[in-house]
Structure 1
Amino acid sequence: MPMQPRLDYVTCASPAGLHRMAYWEWGDPDNDRVLLCAHGLTRTGRDFDELAQTLADDFRVVCPDVAGRGASDWLLNPAFYTVPQYVADMVTLLARLRPATLDWVGTSMGGLIGLALAGTSAMTTTMRANDPRPGACSAELPAHGLRLTRMVLNDVGPRLEIPALGRIGAYVGQPVAFATLAEAVQATRQTAETFGPHTDEQWETFTRRVFRLRDGRWVKHYDLSLAAALAAQNADTYAAGEKLLWQAYDALDCPVLIVHGVQSDLLTAATLTEMLARNPRSSSVEFDGVGHAPTLMTPAQIEPVAAFLRSSLK
């Protein structure tokens, strides 16, 4: 039988109240080397099953369903479906996990969460280091703090292309329901065409991760109100966010692997080139015939990511 993950929950807080975030866990629960995998906008933690099975002997692999998705609660106020809220939820999760070392794999939105988390941690460390109060310094950060050992950014960077966001936003809030799984698979093939070629079995697996059988119909697993939070963003919001993300990226002091779908419309070749130039600890791996975003389901995509992460264990 294939290895199966454990499902657990952590209680998080938003300004609207409490919510539970689900997370899928692989490997030895006593392993304090944690690999946290964060998924894309409309996906779930189960997207990382293949990568997690590959690395479960090396890491405690934790794959949360971000709030509003999968097995996690939906937020009472959809206005808080934003990266700052997701970062706060991840901090709550990490406080439970107490990793001695922390590696991060983030696909699309999950990469932005990782960058924002790293930026928040760096700012907190700087503030403590400059705090004039006795004993107030970066050493006060707990042993399970947010310093990253390795970061994998899967087809995402600090600069987001507005047309690509528009393409994604066009289907996020659409209420769809299918009478059969086969119909859901066919629809997924169309909306996720940019993810590249997959076998029929892989497409079915991919679909089962994001559709649920409810009242005899196959429906999306996530809160359709995600679309409202996405639509509330404007050019000024994106410009301010991009500035902060570049600051966080430039400040990363751990090795970074950028996974790039050559045909991606979200992470362009120009942005990739700039990322490699701005951070000397970064490297990249590219997959032709794939757009946004590589699914990390095949050995060809898994192996370079796994080798990069395992290099921190040497």
Structure 2
Amino acid sequence: MKTQYLTSCSTEGLHHLAYTDWGSKDNPNILVCSHGLTRNKHDFDALANKLSTERRVICFDLPGRGESDWLNDKSAYDYKQYIVDALMIIARTGANKIDWLGTSMGGLLGMMLASLENSPIKSLILNDVGPFIPKAALIRIANYVGKLPYYDTAQELENYMRTTYAGFGDLSDEQWKHLLRYGQKKLDNGQITLNYDPNISLAFNHQPIEDIDLWPIWNNIQQRALIIRGENSDLLARSTTEQMLEQHPNAEFLEIPNTAHSPALMNNADIHSIEQWLDKAEPNSFIV
């Protein structure tokens, strides 16, 4: 799928966002996919390829990741900026309402968008993230984000990815090769590393790491929602999902076995479950 670009803005000027556009542009059923902290739009290639037979699917790179521009003002890597970028992507679709699927950071971004008055979010899929994130999980992420590995061979980088992103689940060799292909950056000295701006880690350095409590945002969300959890996730506790379901009558739950943080959503069974949920006319009848 060919990458396309649009122009967004920050306090320091303009930057380009990269995205892929799957399916018919005339299809009014639109799903926008937003990746995790250090990831990119190609994490959703398998899902977009399958779902685009019945809907239009937009997958985009947030600034500092993948093929999108890196920001000149490194302190601008925050949710205020990401909301602007997401709204630019949604505006490009030409639709008043869209479905949103977000993994981890992309899910938090979706929550914030869904909680806004006159939100463009019609339904919300949260992949292994919720309104409470424990300090321990944030410390684990902070211990690797921004500390880019540098290797001489692709195999070494793939081995690093298999370890760092083990929570993605039981992926095939072909699936890991896909993540490697789009997750690497080749340097002038011949080495390879991960394809993101290490300065996205600054958000972890501005203040001591503590639990994140976004329950007021969750309680303001009225849209139909699907909460996906990795069976062994340290970021989205089962108790958090139970509380989310108690507080949101239109929320439903899907737990993916043999995964942690966060399920890759690359396997046919997982994609089929998401497709079933999106295709439903009425909530609260999804059987897991």
Q: State TM-score, norm by structure 1.
A: 0.85
- TM-superposed CA distance for 1:31, in Å, is 2.2
Q: Distance in 2 between matches of 1:287 and 1:308?
A: 15
CA shift, 1:260, in A, is 0.5
Worse overlay, 49-58 or 93-102: 93-102
* CA root-mean-square deviation: 1.8
Aligned partner of 1:150 in structure 2 is: 123
Shift of 1:6: 3.1
Unaligned runs of 5+ in 1: 126-145
Using the alignment, how far apart are the partners of 2:38 and 2:231 within structure 1? Answer: 21
Deviations 1:53-84 (A, max 9, x none): 11112221100100100000001111111111
Partner of 1:305: 274
**Paired residue secondary structure (2:133):** coil
The Cα shift of 1:287 comes to: 1.5
Which residue does the alignment assign to 1:39? Answer: 35
Which residue of structure 1 aligns with residue 200 of structure 2? 226
Offset from partner CA, 1:81-122 (integer Å, 9 cap, x none):
1111101111122222211430000000000000111223x2
For residue 132 of structure 1, what is the aligned residue in structure 2? Answer: none
In structure 2, the residue matched to 1:54 is 50
- 1:99 counterpart = 2:95: yes
Name the counterpart of 1:88: 84
The one of 179, 196, 211 aligned to 2:169: 196
Q: TM-score, normalised by structure 2?
A: 0.92
Q: Which residue of 2 aligns with 1:117?
A: 113
Please report how far the alpha carbon of residue 249 of structure 1 lies from its aligned counterpart in structure 2 after TM superposition: 1.9
Please state whether the residue corresponding to 2:143 is helix, strand or coil.
helix
Report runs of 4+ in structure 1 exceeding 4 Å deviation: none
User: Does structure 2 conserve the Cα–Cα contact (< 8 Å) formed by 1:119 and 1:247?
Assistant: no
Cα deviation for residue 208 of structure 1 reads 1.8
Among candidates 155, 159, 166, match of residue 182 of structure 1:
155
Matching residue of 2:182: 209
Matched, 1:29 2:2: no
Q: Computing the radius of gyration over CA atoms, which structure comes out larger, 1 or 2?
A: 1
Identity of aligned residues (%): 37
Aligned residues: 282
C-alpha distance in 1, partners of 2:243/2:133?
Answer: 13
Superposed CA deviations along residues 276-308 of structure 1, whole A, max 9, x for unmatched, are 111011110112221000000101211111111
Unaligned stretches of 5+ residues in structure 2: 284-288
Equivalent AA in structure 1 for residue 169 of structure 2: G
Kept in 2, the 8 Å contact 1:185–1:203? The answer is yes
Query: 1 CA distance for matches of 2:207 and 2:31?
Result: 31
Residue 159 of structure 1: aligned partner? 132
State the distance in 1 between where 2:125 and 2:44 align. 13
